[in-house]
Structure 1
């Protein structure tokens, strides 16, 4: 690897960090035609001393989040095409096996099969214990109930891959500069100017922070509080085992050995040896394994979280110690310290599963660091505070190839893509975080929790129960507590999922509420169904304060709003319009309601939950200097009063004429509800007669109380997000981030009616092409399960025979229609109403039928 000794004075793009992420980004950018790319790192290359150097490189592709599965699948394909310095393929496709030691884990492994089918990972299989030991003969089959086998899983050495990627990038003009610590990034007028290193300054237009566990250090210097948390886990390699003597390999002649040894010491003799049999995970005990010639490597997450202070992390020291490695703590291997696994020490669990390791010395052992984020996903994308500043952190070797490809496409073309099409990165976007998440207190505690649960069986609806809770309270919080709300954390907000005070409604509506006894029954209450039915028949009140709210203000506000939106936004003051925002590739960036509140002022309302801040950042990024974009989410309490009796309730509290003629659908007015000033919008995400009410936050609780008191005679009840999800899916209303996102254009999403091609907006060329029939690979389809008693959860494969034709983007039981409703995207020929297909869920196949939408008019 021919690195550069001298420091360039200028580059178009500087990548800080030459680990597996930085090398992947450099490779992808140069493959897209960029030539002036410089990569700097504090360590030597390719063994920089970061996580890529010590990582054992195992690659299990299957993950619950789609984005991680897609990243891993692309990474595997990319690494398979790389040639290592020794002339051999960089990727060792030995397969991967995850074993189960409990019935609950066997159910989990069935879900792994289903996720793999949904995300397009090749040939996932369930194995019997005997089939596991045919592939892994040292495993004690009496200890396991079975296994999940992914034949294309495997291992890649981070060092070998970094070297191969860097050589390819350098052939295309990139420069790699080792032994150069980055000290700061100069910014001026909100834009990147240069990278300041210990050896001098590089003027540049763009910087990518790909420093992983050191990302927070650099971010703090810029006032960007990245919630990237370094955590330690243990890895060790046994002495040579007699049972594996035939696998002994001498790698001292490998072209990278000397470089590797200089940083990693003697353990390079084993780390550089690829596995000769499937990689292995025992997630019940938070352990993983791979072979190193005649030795077994043992990785353990099975200990209490160890979270170092990122501001105290150094680089490689003069004695050759890696900055990303701490001294091995024998206590954590020999003692049960994991809070969820208190009964068995990691070493005991390992020796039980692989008896050949019992009594063997652990020759090479260390605590290696990697990075976690608050939702366990990468932290990547353009940082909204500074033009030209990008991040790529909290990314494993497994996902680095896909993440690097998506980020390079994003930087070059404005849209993250993989070879099979655009990929939505809402859950990975660096701008997704709320202010509190930037505190070290929050990042430390949640990073530790993410470490704790990394191999736990977690439900899709699982939320933090104790750690870092009760941070953001809506004005109605205390009233929610009085009504015994089941509060879940959403972007720090404490939001009701249902209200125990509504338990009496279950007796009334119970015959229409299907019981849930399996996986789908967790984190669910029949009260959700009762609340939904009460809204349909009477009236309900829902707290929607956490939905993101933006004000767009200025003389050019009208022109800017039109540029953002796909619909014709030539609306009068007081009008409300539903519209979309698209990215440059025509993917749906958000769906919003826009209210014109004055000649030069607009109120934009969009999805909250965990992705809403992405929309705020997007609008701000597009805005011209003459327009002010204010995030007013916390400034206003928001609620919706909806249901057939909504007009009667509100009419008790105001003299305003609420008739259809005086207050039409999609209009807005300002008035008083009793003594509370409100802006009322005649819209409802539940799909019933209703008004969304916005008031300054200090009035919120009293407004809520007024409505509950006035509505008592009309059977008003508060309702939570569980009921809302059911209500909206029956009406065919999309939920951004689930059944609506950037991977699909408006016409695929069935929202072409929200596009006016006579106007100019972001992404118009791509949207116009879709309108003409181009780029329509899939169309939205509304499905109902034929069995009215069945309930399924999202992210499951949709099948035609044995062929996977899509996956469930969202699924909720529709209590009004009496069936489970799901939304998916299918090839156009399958999306026609009346088409019969199947869903694979928890090992069973369920018949489903494509329906005309909406199911409830």
Structure 2
């Protein structure tokens, strides 16, 4: 048997469909010394038993882009490699059995049109015509996507493997990876065993494509790859006489999908409570294996399926299959450069959509590895989004019981995970809970999203319409706009930069001028070479040699990794200070009056103008008061040592009662920020959104000092904007906006909303989204007629390039 070489440019660990895709796409880019090592045989883990459904539409534009690429690739592989992939476009139908699900699938159909995917709402009678075996009882709506398809999973993988080999890649089976040699933050070699031989292959890059072994392999690499295997069930009937090619049929409310395959019907399940598997590790002997049958677990799905598809009662069951698949904590796969190392890449955890994702994911990762830059925004799946604690085995076991079923659950706005909760808590958690806080989970943090009234059920009641907390959030919003509100933002990521070169370093990585006096706060972005936004932060100068970078909770690790990779020769240290300080926000026109009651310090414009901080006494403790805002009002963020946070909160709460100060949650913050036109990182701004087109040119430094992305900023200023981020206010106060709703300009879809929320002060829903504007002035953009499409209905909207609320920011500077 062939043995691995002594050295390679890249070693790929794992020979499932994604490992083969990465090898294929790297070889297409001219990487000739590519080595893929598979412990058993190619596809022998999960790929071989996948259902092979290949859908186009995903939850975001770029994920849809990758899925569409997969389809196009699989359709051409046979001509290139001679291996038939079985790919055919047979279409797919998703049905709704309730009004809430009807709203969801119609919103998805609108989103599909914005993403360039053909989607058609069909009636129950049309559903029966396209799928004559289905029982249409209870069907409220259906959506048909004619370009969806299916394929042969194993042959798709083997075709990509052959394509890689044809370009010089070495793909070796029966080679087990046993360990890794490291030097600092890099892996220098991959140790292996093959038969009676062992050795080490020196390499420049390593890619973890180990599937359900990805977590274990990641630990050996020194990186965190949170995923867990779950049992996944389907049955295959005997041959059904006269059965013709059919679309894939999904009935999410019955947790089922149906696939016609060679005259048989495959019924697959995504049950609400899954069965995690392999808690003690996956057996070393595992190869094309299946797990024990559990008919009792599958029976409730089958009962509903027999009602929905009566021919199942007549067809015998040929195969009852149970095989493992890996699931991640948020149902999104892992892709990209691991934050803990500088040459370890990950492509794993595909949550039962590996076949439809692998082509695009392999292409995107190969492009990233080849150029050193993401080809476009991959924030939905970037491995750097995962928090360190999420590699905890107990956490993964508990969360994986839920995530499998969430694929087919109602994707309600603001839906919270039910499992693996309560892990990261603010020092104020219990105090807020006692006052009626209803918590949501974000990056593991329990955060107060809204406050229930006395006697009100302190829990979410989900809907696509106004949820049970809508009026609560409206009152919290009103308090911020008209009086004063208090809310907890302790989850902010806080990174301290310290050292003799701190000023030079922050000026290198940030686009703003940070040669500022001690105590100055600067709103800034970290840019990539294309001028895209890698991070959206505030930077506070604490001393001559120290700065504090404050980031969103979910991006602290990614932002710190970005900075660390650009340290170069700068003499600085980067320290995660997130847990060291709580952050209590006091916001609203009467916030100054509240602070004056609890502190002897001066909060006037003369002493503490907007964009500065000062050390203060508060109650019997101390804090650092940052005069900034994300809600568009006068206010302060109080950074308080964790040990004093409860005391400071009690002092503020007691004093605030006399002013009718209201405790507020983060739904309020989102509705206030969108009225003010403040951008939300990961939605309105990302790594592929140019800072000038995002309307953030004011934050770019005006000096000639070099910084990452400077050339792209200068080029864009010279060439002009290709698109603009526009704010929209619906003219109808009833509909709600969330994100991804199509933007219709003069009757044509031109984009989609990057974010949306209800503007309680403005009296209607507000959205933000990019509008193409090449060669146009701002006046040209605003002169058009705009509508937003919501579940197939178009609603008139008023556009604005300036904030709809307080466009001159007079309220924050009073």
Structure 1 stretch displaced more, 631-640 or 812-821 = 812-821
Q: Specify the alignment match of 2:116 in structure 1.
A: 120
1:499 corresponds, among 442, 451, 462, to: 451
Cα deviation code 1:747-779 (max 9, x no counterpart): 1100011112622222222232222226x4321
- 1:33–1:157 distance in 2 versus 1, CA, 3 Å: same
Instruction: Please report how far the alpha carbon of residue 528 of structure 1 lies from its aligned counterpart in structure 2 after TM superposition.
Output: 0.9
Are residue 622 (structure 1) and residue 566 (structure 2) matched?
yes
SS of equivalent residue, structure 1 residue 753: helix
Counterpart contact for 1:42–1:315, Cα < 8 Å: no
* Structure 2 alignment gaps of length 5 or more: 807-814
Task: Write the mapping of 1:166-181 to structure 2, written as runs, cut at 5 A.
Answer: 166-181=161-176
Q: Specify the alignment match of 2:789 in structure 1.
A: 840
Task: Write the mapping of 1:556-705 to structure 2, written as runs, cut at 5 A.
Answer: 556-608=501-553, 610-624=554-568, 626-705=571-650
Task: Write the mapping of 1:96-495 to structure 2, written as runs, cut at 5 A.
Answer: 96-121=92-117, 123-142=118-137, 144-199=139-194, 200-244=199-243, 276-302=245-271, 304-309=273-278, 311-314=280-283, 321-323=287-289, 325-333=290-298, 335=299, 345-395=300-350, 396-417=354-375, 422=376, 424-465=377-418, 467-495=419-447
Are residue 526 (structure 1) and residue 471 (structure 2) matched?
yes
> For the residues of structure 1 that align with 2:251 and 2:44, how far apart are their CA atoms?
28
Q: Specify the alignment match of 2:24 in structure 1.
A: 27
Instruction: Please report how far the alpha carbon of residue 328 of structure 1 lies from its aligned counterpart in structure 2 after TM superposition.
Output: 2.9
Counterpart contact for 1:75–1:402, Cα < 8 Å: yes
Counterpart contact for 2:103–2:464, Cα < 8 Å: no
Counterpart contact for 2:272–2:404, Cα < 8 Å: no
2:9 corresponds, among 9, 12, 16, to: 12
Structure 1 stretch displaced more, 138-147 or 351-360 = 138-147
Structure 1 stretch displaced more, 137-146 or 110-119 = 137-146
> For the residues of structure 2 that align with 1:488 and 1:204, how far apart are their CA atoms?
43
Q: Specify the alignment match of 1:759 in structure 2.
A: 705
> For the residues of structure 1 that align with 2:308 and 2:637, how far apart are their CA atoms?
58
- 1:237–1:500 distance in 2 versus 1, CA, 3 Å: closer
Instruction: Please report how far the alpha carbon of residue 42 of structure 1 lies from its aligned counterpart in structure 2 after TM superposition.
Output: 1.4
> For the residues of structure 2 that align with 1:330 and 1:784, how far apart are their CA atoms?
52
- 1:303–1:428 distance in 2 versus 1, CA, 3 Å: closer
SS of equivalent residue, structure 2 residue 782: coil
Structure 1 stretch displaced more, 188-197 or 132-141 = 132-141
> For the residues of structure 2 that align with 1:712 and 1:481, how far apart are their CA atoms?
17
Cα deviation code 1:55-101 (max 9, x no counterpart): 12111222334443332122112222221665656521111112334
> For the residues of structure 2 that align with 1:638 and 1:590, how far apart are their CA atoms?
20
- 1:762–1:502 distance in 2 versus 1, CA, 3 Å: farther
Counterpart contact for 2:104–2:464, Cα < 8 Å: no
Cα deviation code 1:199-250 (max 9, x no counterpart): 3221111111011111012123345342211111112221122233xx6xxx
Structure 1 stretch displaced more, 696-705 or 759-768 = 759-768
Counterpart contact for 2:100–2:464, Cα < 8 Å: no
Q: Specify the alignment match of 1:721 in structure 2.
A: 666
Counterpart contact for 1:209–1:391, Cα < 8 Å: yes
Q: Specify the alignment match of 1:734 in structure 2.
A: 679
Instruction: Please report how far the alpha carbon of residue 326 of structure 1 lies from its aligned counterpart in structure 2 after TM superposition.
Output: 1.6
- 1:500–1:206 distance in 2 versus 1, CA, 3 Å: same
Instruction: Please report how far the alpha carbon of residue 527 of structure 1 lies from its aligned counterpart in structure 2 after TM superposition.
Output: 1.5
SS of equivalent residue, structure 1 residue 519: coil
Instruction: Give me the TM-score of the superposition, normalised by structure 2.
Output: 0.92
Are residue 856 (structure 1) and residue 805 (structure 2) matched?
yes
Are residue 745 (structure 1) and residue 690 (structure 2) matched?
yes
- 1:545–1:517 distance in 2 versus 1, CA, 3 Å: closer
Cα deviation code 1:240-280 (max 9, x no counterpart): 22233xx6xxxxxxxxxxxxxxxxxxxxxxxxxxxx33222
> For the residues of structure 2 that align with 1:232 and 1:68, how far apart are their CA atoms?
25
SS of equivalent residue, structure 1 residue 580: strand
Counterpart contact for 1:63–1:112, Cα < 8 Å: no
- 1:388–1:458 distance in 2 versus 1, CA, 3 Å: same
- 1:782–1:766 distance in 2 versus 1, CA, 3 Å: same
Counterpart contact for 1:183–1:218, Cα < 8 Å: no
Counterpart contact for 2:85–2:156, Cα < 8 Å: no
> For the residues of structure 1 that align with 2:713 and 2:443, how far apart are their CA atoms?
31
Instruction: Please report how far the alpha carbon of residue 821 of structure 1 lies from its aligned counterpart in structure 2 after TM superposition.
Output: 1.4
Cα deviation code 1:291-316 (max 9, x no counterpart): 22222222222374111125521355
Q: Specify the alignment match of 1:38 in structure 2.
A: 35
> For the residues of structure 2 that align with 1:404 and 1:636, how far apart are their CA atoms?
40
SS of equivalent residue, structure 1 residue 622: coil
- 1:234–1:789 distance in 2 versus 1, CA, 3 Å: closer
Instruction: Please report how far the alpha carbon of residue 348 of structure 1 lies from its aligned counterpart in structure 2 after TM superposition.
Output: 2.5
- 1:503–1:784 distance in 2 versus 1, CA, 3 Å: farther
Q: Specify the alignment match of 1:272 in structure 2.
A: none
Instruction: Please report how far the alpha carbon of residue 197 of structure 1 lies from its aligned counterpart in structure 2 after TM superposition.
Output: 1.3
Number of equivalent positions? 788
Counterpart contact for 2:89–2:147, Cα < 8 Å: yes
Q: Specify the alignment match of 1:81 in structure 2.
A: 76
Counterpart contact for 2:482–2:589, Cα < 8 Å: yes
- 1:140–1:525 distance in 2 versus 1, CA, 3 Å: closer
Counterpart contact for 1:784–1:819, Cα < 8 Å: yes
> For the residues of structure 2 that align with 1:383 and 1:311, how far apart are their CA atoms?
25
Counterpart contact for 2:235–2:267, Cα < 8 Å: yes
Counterpart contact for 2:272–2:406, Cα < 8 Å: no
> For the residues of structure 1 that align with 2:730 and 2:141, how far apart are their CA atoms?
30
> For the residues of structure 1 that align with 2:139 and 2:535, how far apart are their CA atoms?
46
> For the residues of structure 2 that align with 1:517 and 1:472, how far apart are their CA atoms?
24
Instruction: Please report how far the alpha carbon of residue 597 of structure 1 lies from its aligned counterpart in structure 2 after TM superposition.
Output: 0.5
- 1:304–1:820 distance in 2 versus 1, CA, 3 Å: closer
Instruction: Please report how far the alpha carbon of residue 501 of structure 1 lies from its aligned counterpart in structure 2 after TM superposition.
Output: 4.9
SS of equivalent residue, structure 1 residue 368: strand
Counterpart contact for 1:216–1:311, Cα < 8 Å: no
* Structure 1 alignment gaps of length 5 or more: 248-275, 336-344, 505-515
